[in-house]
Amino acid sequence: MLPAVTATRYVTPLREGGSLPGLMEADDLGTYVVKWRAAGQGVKVLVAEVVCAELARALDLPVPALVTVDVVPELAVGEPDVEVQELLQRSAGRNLGLDYLPGALDFEAGADGVDPELAGRVLWFDALIGNVDRSWRNPNMLFWHGRLELIDHGAALTFHHHWPGAEAAVSRPYDASAHALLECEPRVPAADAALAGRVTRPLLENVLAQVPDDWLEDEPGVLRTRYVDQLLARLAARDAWLPALVAAADAGGGGRRRAPRGENRPAWLGPPPPEGVTQR
């Protein structure tokens, strides 16, 4: 299971996220970006966050530490926004916390700083989990102390929103045309050779064991097995989606429109640096 902490202070809402995540301090003296169980599509988003982040961690991809955060609604009494107060009241109990990365810098598609090997591994990983939310418009990546960090995987694993149709997702091609790392010359064949053999049933079972029971509907044990089986089936069907992924990586993204400086920047990072001044 993930480490568990208890929230001690609600700092501020992070309004750049559609689900209004909140910045909170906890009893371990840590500060966390908290994602709410009652926001958006509910706990399934939290499940996707945990499964994808812990799978990434198991594959040595860089992701912030995760914890579960026990929240009492009284912590938001001083928050003037009624919408935020109601969200916290509905989210009483166990929520998901991501380690807050102070001073993190936003990722800019096409910028230097991501080597082709890492870019290939991230692209391969996103294709495996069906991550539709790592585009040049919304990269969901940060630089922290010069290291890339992958964040926000709640939009992946879309099959779990409709299990009867999950089989169709197994061999579904992955549209990488807007992926944020295409300009980094991602080495997808090398990534496949390095990572595919590491995604095993025991590894996935350990990943799913990190998900709290109360975030899993029906029989938690049965549902964990369904996630494992689905991801293993997706892995086994690489012949259906890997060639197009390699082709997209080879084509690159040089012809795409680049986002203006600061367009993808989270509000809590403050204004972007002036033109001509690098962030790293």
pLDDT at 207: 99
Neighbouring-strand partners of residue 148: 143
Q: Are 149 and 63 in contact (CB under 8 A)?
A: yes
What are the structure tokens assigned to 263, written together?
């367009």
**pLDDT at residue number 265:** 58
Residues 6+ apart with CB under 8 A from 46: 35, 37, 95, 96, 154, 215
Map out the domains of the chain as residue ranges: 4-99, 106-266
Digit-coded pLDDT (tens) for 225-274: 999 999 999 999 999 999 999 999 999 975 454 555 555 555 555 566 66
SS3 68: strand
Cβ atoms of 215 and 227 within 8 Å: the answer is no
In this structure, what are the phi and psi dihedrals at residue 95, rounded to the nearest 5 degrees? -125, 180
Q: How many CB atoms lie within 10 A of CB 273?
A: 12
Q: What is the value of pTM for the model shown?
A: 0.90
28 DSSP β-pair partners: none
Distance, in Å, from the CA atom of 153 to the CA atom of 213, rounded to the nearest integer, reads 19
- For position 154, what pLDDT does the model report? 96
Per-residue pLDDT tens over the stretch 110-158: 666 799 999 999 999 999 999 999 999 999 999 999 999 999 999 999 9
| Residues 179, 109: Cα–Cα separation, whole Å | 9
> Under 8 Å CB-to-CB from 126, ≥6 apart: which residues?
134, 156, 174, 176, 179
Q: Does residue 262 contact residue 272 with C-beta atoms inside 8 Å?
A: yes
Q: CATH fold of 106-266, please?
A: 1.10.1070
* Alpha carbon distance 92, 147 (integer Å): 34
The pLDDT tens digits for 169-220 are 999 999 999 999 999 999 999 999 999 999 999 999 999 999 999 999 889 9
Cα 228 to Cα 220: distance, rounded to the nearest angstrom = 12
CA–CA distance, 274 with 272 (Å, rounded to integer) = 7
* Encoded tokens for 223: 């549902």
pLDDT tens-digit map of 43-97: 999 999 999 999 999 999 999 999 999 999 889 888 888 988 999 999 999 999 9
Please tell me what DSSP assigns to residue 216: S
Token pair, residue 151, equals: 């964040």
* Longest CA pairwise span in the chain (Å): 55
